Structure 1
Amino acid sequence: MRFPVRAVSMMVAASLSAGAAFAQKGETVKVAWIDPLSGLMASVGQNQLKSYQFVAEKLNASNPAGVKFEILSIDNKLSPAETLNALKSAADQGVRYVVQGLGSGAATALIDGINKHNQRNPGKEIVFLNYAAVDPDLTNSKCSFWHFRLDADTSMKMEAMTTYIKDQKDVQKVYLINQNYAHGHQVAKFAKENLKRKRPDIQVVGDDLHPLAQVRDFAPYVAKIKASGADTIITGNWGSDLALLVKAANDAGLTAKFYTYYANFGGTPTALGKVANGRVYQIGYGHYNLGGLNGQLVAEFKKRFNDDYYSAATYSGLQMLSIAMAKAKSTDPVKVAYAMEGLKFKTFNGDVEMRKTDHQMQQPLFLAQWAPVDAKNSYNVEGTGMTFVPVKQFDAYVSSTPTSCQMKRPS
């Protein structure tokens, strides 16, 4: 049988193209980590970078796609403008996947920048894995096919937190203090809405916003909290903004309880110390005493770096990426993004799903309380003799919130 020369040429080209699309065993996949390595949040950034490098090394030994992850770090100085510069640098280096999490402002800039880059550069698309930026708008009005969030968003965490608070009769007067950017605004918004719906008798006696990563002395804020008579503080603060806040609270003898999102972030546990025993709660997708795979990761990270592994979404993110690459039989971002939509898999905190409609991870959440280490909860956080003890687990459906996302997908 004879084929026309042009037909044969087209078949060969198609064959080569298909072969190139398949993930090759041992293929290197560059992942750009874009977060702060300077300024007041540098210590958190350094921990997150080590976490990604640690996870990449573990998964490079074995992952479903057989690829090798290479982590490239770029300091964005916690600035949206610097984040866009970092994105350009990553694109110039041939990076097709980026990860970021410290700051929803930077995440918003990345989504916008990646949308524009991908529109202008077909065949060189970039996918964004967001491991900690939790502004709900990122998977609602600003949702993007190229963006996948691994953490639970602000509204989801507040849904779980207030489900617990509604049954705590000692909570009568709540003070809100948050960072003055998208995430902080959303924490305050959803706290007020949820408390009004679930416990209308609770009074919100204060609502403060302060500059992100600029305040060095929180004593004036703590004085206002004491004067308000608040018995409970709700805050989405993280990094130095939470560590310095709780230090000022301890120094002033403030005995109110703290309900937080990020009390496990580096430096905050040391600031809490034993004096905060029983008074601090954290809502999140895991905790140090979860056991199983999480326990192995936490113990190994501590042994290697003498530091705490507190963002396990670094693991589930690269794990999801490798599963999707195996499913797509490709490392091409377009094919992999489609493979991640609706993907269900088991990870460190149980069964999870990357919701297709908005690319928001659906997963269990846990409320944990700051308490002394014991036989059952033995992880010693920052050498304080204290740990986060699980108080309540929430199945994924409890904290799941609806989305207004109108996803636009590439053809």
Structure 2
Amino acid sequence: MLLSLFLRRSWFAGLLGAWVTVLASSTWAQTPAAPAAAPIRIGMIEGLSGAFANTGEAVFRNLIWATERINARGGVKLPGGNRPLVIERLDSKGQTEEALSSLRSAIDRDISFVTQGNSSAAAAALIDAINKHNERDNARQVLFLNYSAVDPTLTNERCSPWHFRFDAHADMRMTALMSVLREDRALKRIYLIGQDYSFGQGVLREARRQLSEQRPDVSIVGDELHPMARIKDFLPYAAKIKASGAQAVLTGNWGNDLTLLVKAAREVGFEGSFYTFYGNALGAPAAMGEAGIGKVIAVADWFPNVPTAASEAFYQSFRQRFPKPEDDYVHMRMQLMIEALAQAIEHAGSLEVARVALELKKAEVTLAGQTARMRAADHQFQQPLAVAVMDRQGAPGVKFDVEGSGFGFRVIRHLSPQQAELPHRCNMDRP
């Protein structure tokens, strides 16, 4: 009884949530502030070593924080008693084959829920593997929660009853960016550059299509793909961008491929704008510095400077949990994803994957004033989107900076879930 009373106290729950136990050489889990019951394990398949390890660790912090919140309020409610959520790390090393190996490891350990996002190529492979596994092994089915792999085909031609995407896909993000770009009447020349894999290719393809429809007066003066995670020196690319006479760059690059690109652009003296999918953190603002003020534009489901009290409290809570400046990269969608999973399990009253999937496809969750729902037809999360521009901390609309850089992002466009929604091409073969 005393323990139960203590667990209800937020400071004690936060303390317990901060403890992380090493379960295996590549697996961590948080000690839950919940009754001592068998945990519901979520296997995070992500690159935790290699070129994009920083993005994998950022995901881990977000998922840990999300599960801590649920565990602090008692865990997931099931007929047999409340169960805590635990994140288990599975290092894919940023490689598709390693991601598939991690999936096999999760299945061998009877983990029914897996999550991944930092590669659409890996996500596509996981969807195919899970489809085949679930068909032949009904007793050990797996559900795939995708927080960042945004290739549109994953919820269109390759949609699956076992896959749920919680990020806006690339065409949705592009449409939001284009709502700002099309109003930049001074823009006449743009350079397209991206990572050479399914996502990067899709971003540039959609950029060409939307530019031709909405800004046919803008000339594409460069259009190229580069190897992903293998370029250490982007100065040759930056020199080509500057020499092209481009007034802006549009890129879906993420991780170090974005940070090194914007850093090189600054070094060669490129003075144009960057229209980005992920330019709001992981070193990009610090790399651009003063040169990025008013010129780096990013799209996201949420920004720390969303001007509401609920949003500010949400962000402040994350910064208290992870006070190091380099840990400052919180994703609202990842928080909503874990909330949606907990909700689906509770509504199903079971951990049976098929029953949880039936509930997840109709999930609707709200956190810090942000409400989103899962679209049952294609399992594409429908949520607000925002476009923001980089500015100096302290400027109007920029209360919070990014990663201690002194620069933050001011929201300049907000799209409701209805405005962000796009038609789908999914014809799902449900079990």
Q: TM-score, normalised by structure 2?
A: 0.87
- Residues 305-344 of structure 1 correspond to what in structure 2 (within 5 A)? 305=322, 306=324, 307-344=327-364
**Which of 211, 224, 232 pairs up with 1:216?**
232
What per-residue deviation string (whole Å, max 9, x for no partner) do you get for residues 314-349 of structure 1?
Answer: 211110011111211122211111001132232346
**Max radius of gyration: which structure?**
1
Match of 2:385 among 343, 350, 365: 365
* Partner residue, 1:19: none
Structure 1 residues 361, 177: CA separation in 2 closer, same or farther (over 3 Å shift)? Answer: same
Q: Please provide the CA RMSD for this pair.
A: 1.7
1:401 matched to 2:401? The reply is no
Shift of 1:404: 1.0
Aligned match for 1:59, one of 53, 61, 70: 70
CA offsets per residue over residues 167-189 of structure 1, 9 Å max, x none?
A: 11022111101000011011101
Match of 2:6 in 1: none
* Cα shift readout 1:38-80 (whole Å, capped 9, x = no counterpart): 1110111112112211221111112563431110001101111
**Corresponding residue of 1:299:** 316
Q: Which residue of 2 aligns with 1:143?
A: 159
Identify if the C-alpha distance between structure 1 residues 292 and 92 changes in structure 2 by more than 3 Å, giving closer, same or farther.
farther
- Percent identical among aligned pairs is 37
Q: Which stretch has the larger CA shift, 74-83 or 44-53?
A: 44-53
Q: Structure 1 regions of 5+ residues with no counterpart?
A: 1-23
Partner residue of 2:189?
173
Q: Which residue of 2 aligns with 1:387?
A: 408
Within-5 A mapping of 1:56-135: 56-62=67-73, 65=77, 66-135=82-151
CA distance in 2, matches of 1:162, 1:172: 14
Q: In 2, Cα distance between the equivalents of 1:135 and 1:328?
A: 29
Instruction: Work out whether 1:37 is the aligned partner of 2:57.
Output: no
CA distance in 2, matches of 1:175, 1:133: 24
- Name the counterpart of 2:26: none
**Kept in 2: contact 1:279–1:370 (CA 8 A):** yes
Of 282, 300, 304, which residue of structure 2 is paired with 1:266? 282
The alpha-carbon deviation at position 26 of structure 1 amounts to 5.1
Tell me which residue corresponds to 2:257: 241
CA distance in 1, matches of 2:108, 2:238: 46
Deviation of 1:397 after TM superposition, in Å, equals: 2.2
Q: Secondary structure at the match of 2:139?
A: coil
Deviations 1:237-276 (A, max 9, x none): 0000000000001111101100100112312222122221
Q: Secondary structure at the match of 1:123?
A: helix
With over 3 angstroms needed to count, the CA separation of the structure-2 counterparts of 1:329 and 1:287, relative to structure 1, is same
Q: Secondary structure in 2 aligned to 1:383?
A: coil
Rate the CA distance shift 1:292–1:35 in 2: closer, same or farther, 3 A: farther
**Counterpart position of 1:353:** 373
Partner Cα separation in structure 1 for residue 342 and residue 36 of structure 2: 12
Q: What's 2:60 paired with?
A: 49
User: Which residue of structure 1 lines up, in the alignment, with residue 39 of structure 2?
Assistant: 28
Higher RCO (CA-CA < 8 Å; seq separation 6+):
1
Is the 1:212–1:241 contact (alpha carbons within 8 Å) kept by the matching residues of 2? yes
One-letter amino acid of the counterpart of residue 339, structure 1: E
Looking at structure 1, the residues matched to 372 and 294 of structure 2 have their Cα atoms a distance apart, in angstroms, of 30
SS of 2:186's partner is coil
CA distance in 1, matches of 2:379, 2:36: 27
What one-letter code is carried by the residue in structure 1 that aligns with 2:197? Y
Runs of 4+ in 1 over 6 A off after TM superposition: none
Aligned partners of 1:238 and 1:265 also within 8 Å: no
In 2, distance between residues paired with 1:311 and 1:213?
23
Shift of 1:25: 10
> 1:293 offset after TM fit, Å?
4.6
1:311 Cα deviation after fit? 2.2
Cα deviation digits, residues 138-186 of structure 1 (max 9, x gap): 0011110000000000000111111221111022111101000011011
Residues 355-409 of structure 1: CA deviation (Å, up to 9, x unaligned):
0110001111000000011264211211111101100101122222211111111
2:138 aligned counterpart, secondary structure: coil
Q: How far apart in 1 are the matches of 2:37 and 2:332?
A: 24
Distance (Å, rounded) in 1 between the aligned partners of 2:369 and 2:272: 30
- Aligned-partner residue type, residue 367 of structure 1: V
Matched-pair contact (CA < 8 Å) for 1:316–1:348: no
Count of aligned pairs between the two proteins: 387
2:270 to 248, 254, 258: 254
Q: Who is 2:243 aligned against? A: 227
Q: Equivalents in 2 of 1:381, 1:326: separation in Å?
A: 36
Instruction: Confirm whether residue 195 of structure 1 aligns to residue 214 of structure 2.
Output: no
User: What is the TM-score with the length of structure 1 in the denominator?
Assistant: 0.91
Select between 295-304 and 324-333 the one with higher mean Cα deviation. 295-304
CA contact (8 A) 1:286 1:349 kept: no
The whole-number CA distance in structure 1 between the counterparts of 2:391 and 2:175 is 24
